[in-house]
Structure 1
Amino acid sequence: MEIYPAVDILDGRCVQLVQGRPEAATVYGDPAAWARRWLEEGADGLHVVNLDGAFGRAQKNADLIRAFTRETDAFVELGGGIRSVEDAAGWLEVDVDRVILSTLAVRSPDVIRTLADEFGSVRVMAGIDARGGEVMIEGWERPAGGYLSWAERFEDLGAGSLLYTNVDVEGLQQGIAITPVTDLLARARVPVVVSGGISSSGDVHALREAGAAGAVLGSALYAGKVRLSEAMEAAHAAE
C-alpha cells in the first residue's frame, strides 16, 4: 500500500482544513518546502490539492504547483479546481501523473471516458467524497447520490482508480471509519486510495488489511499525531 502526504494549498500556503471548511484552516507555510520534506522522508508520492480551485478560484496557485512539481520525478496526483477536460489535460500534459476528478466527474461523467481514452485510465482518478454514504460535490456542500453507485459508474466510464474521502471523519484526527471503506473495497474493481481520519499507524494497518491501494495523510501528519515513517512501515510491512 502506498502513502501520499497531502499538500493542500490555499492562497499560496500549505494548510490543513477541518471538515473542508476554509475558515478552519491551520497554516503550515511553504507548500514546496513541505513537498520536499515528505519526499525526502520516503513518501511514495504527493497528494496535491489546489483548495482555491476547489472553492472556485481555479487559477490561483497554479504557477506555484507547477514550479514544485517540475522539481521532482516523484509521483504526483492533483485535485481541486479541475472544471473541464481542458483543465485536466493541461495538468496531465506537463507535470502531474494523475488528476482527481470530483465535482466535474459528477456533473459531466463522460469527461472520465474522454480523458481515459486520451491519456490512459491509470492517469484518471475519480474522487468520491462521501458524507453519510452520499457523494458530496461543490466544496462538499451538495449531495449527489450514493457513493457505491457512483463508484461503479466511474469505473464503467474508465476511471483507473478511485479516491474515497470520508467527509464524516476528515480532519478530525480521531481515526478512520472502516465500514464504508470495506463496503467500497468489496465492490470496487480498480485500486482505491483512502483519505479522511487517518491518524495512526493502526489506521494505516487496517486499511492495508482491508485491501486499500493507498492512503492520504493530512491533518494528523502535520500535527505530529502520526509520523510518516510509522505510516510507511505499517503500509509496507507485508511487502
Structure 2
Amino acid sequence: MIVFPAIDLKGGEVVRLAEGDMDRATVYGDDPAAQARLFDAAGAGHLHVVDLDGSFAGSAQNREAVEAIVAAFPGYVQLGGGIRTPADVEGWFEAGVARIVIGTAALKDPQFVKDMAREYEGGIVVAVDARDGMVATDGWAEVSDVSIVDMARRFEDAGVASLLFTDIGRDGLLKGVNIDATVDLARRVDIPVIASGGVKGLDDIHVLSLYANEGIEGVITGRALYDGRLDLAAALAMAARQ
C-alpha cells in the first residue's frame, strides 16, 4: 500500500484545511519544495499535491510552487486542483507530474476524463469527494445529487488508474479514516481506491493496509504528519510490511 504525504498549497504556502474550508487553514510552511525534500528524506516515494486555490478558481494558481516541488522531489508527484481541460493535463505531464487528479470535471464532463485516461494510460485519478455520501465539487463548495458509488462506476473500464475517496467531514480533523465507506467503495468497483481524510495515526495506516488485497491502493495523510501525530518513516514501513 502506498502512503502519500500531502502538500496542500494556498497562496504559495503549505497549509491544511479543516473540512475543506479555505477560511479554516493552518499554515505549516512557506517553502513547498523544502517540505517535499523532507518527505523524500523520510523515505516517501510518492507525494499528493493539491492546488487549493486552483480548485476554486478552476485553473492553476500555484504553478510556481508545484514546479518547485516536482524539481525537488525525485519520486512520483500526484497533482490535483483546477485541472479541467486537455491543455491543463498535457501541461502538467510535460512539467513532470506523474499522475493527475480530476474531481469537478469528472462529474461535470465525464467524457473528458475518459478521453484523458485513454490518452495518458495509468496517469489519471478520479477524485470522489463525499459529503454525507454525495459527491462534492468546486473545491467542495457544491454538493451534487450523485452518490459516490454511482460516480465511481461511471469510470469502470475507462482506463482510470485510481479513485481518490475523501470523506470531507473528516478531512483535516484527525477523526480517523472512514474505513467502512472506503472499503465498501473498493469492494463495489473494479478501480483501486486511495483513502483520504481524517488520518490520525499509525492505527489508520495499519487497518487500511489490511484491505490492500481488496482494492485499497494507498492512503493520503497530511495534518497528522505536520502535527507530529504520525511518523512518516513508521507509516511507510508498516505499509510496506503489509
TM-score range relative to shorter protein: over 0.9
Kindly report structure 1 stretches of 4+ aligned residues shifted beyond 6 Å: none
Asked if the contact 1:110/1:157 (under 8 Å) is kept, the reply is no
Partner of 2:26: 26
Asked if the contact 1:135/1:147 (under 8 Å) is kept, the reply is yes
Asked if the contact 2:52/2:139 (under 8 Å) is kept, the reply is no
Residue pairs, 1:1-239, within 5 angstroms: 1-29=1-29, 30-56=31-57, 58-120=59-121, 122-144=122-144, 145-211=146-212, 212-238=216-242
Superposed CA RMSD in Å reads 1.3
**Per the alignment, do residues 57 and 183 of structure 1 end up closer, same or farther by CA in structure 2, a change over 3 Å counting?**
closer
Partner secondary structure for residue 91 of structure 2: helix
Asked if the contact 1:202/1:234 (under 8 Å) is kept, the reply is no
CA deviations over 1:121-143 (Å, ceiling 9, x no partner): x1000000011111111121222
Asked if the contact 1:185/1:210 (under 8 Å) is kept, the reply is no
Question: Which letter does structure 1 place at the counterpart of 2:137?
Answer: I
Aligned residues: 237
Partner secondary structure for residue 25 of structure 2: strand
Q: Which runs of 5+ in 2 are unaligned?
A: none
**Per the alignment, do residues 209 and 38 of structure 1 end up closer, same or farther by CA in structure 2, a change over 3 Å counting?**
same
CA deviations over 1:60-112 (Å, ceiling 9, x no partner): 21022113302333111000011212111211122100000000111100111
CA deviations over 1:112-161 (Å, ceiling 9, x no partner): 121122111x1000000011111111121222210011111122433121
Asked if the contact 1:162/1:193 (under 8 Å) is kept, the reply is yes
Q: Which runs of 5+ in 1 are unaligned?
A: none
Alpha-carbon distance, 1:182 to partner: 1.4
Partner secondary structure for residue 169 of structure 2: coil
Asked if the contact 2:129/2:140 (under 8 Å) is kept, the reply is yes
Question: Which letter does structure 2 place at the counterpart of 1:189?
Answer: D
Partner secondary structure for residue 55 of structure 1: helix
CA deviations over 1:14-41 (Å, ceiling 9, x no partner): 0011001111111111111111100110
> How many angstroms apart in 2 are the aligned matches of 1:49 and 1:199?
20
Asked if the contact 2:33/2:72 (under 8 Å) is kept, the reply is no
Larger displacement relative to structure 2 (86-95 or 144-153): 86-95
Partner secondary structure for residue 16 of structure 1: strand
Alpha-carbon distance, 1:50 to partner: 0.6
Asked if the contact 2:60/2:81 (under 8 Å) is kept, the reply is no
> How many angstroms apart in 2 are the aligned matches of 1:184 and 1:150?
11
> How many angstroms apart in 1 are the aligned matches of 2:60 and 2:224?
28
Partner secondary structure for residue 73 of structure 2: coil
- Tell me the percent identity: 38
Alpha-carbon distance, 1:190 to partner: 2.0
Alpha-carbon distance, 1:57 to partner: 6.3
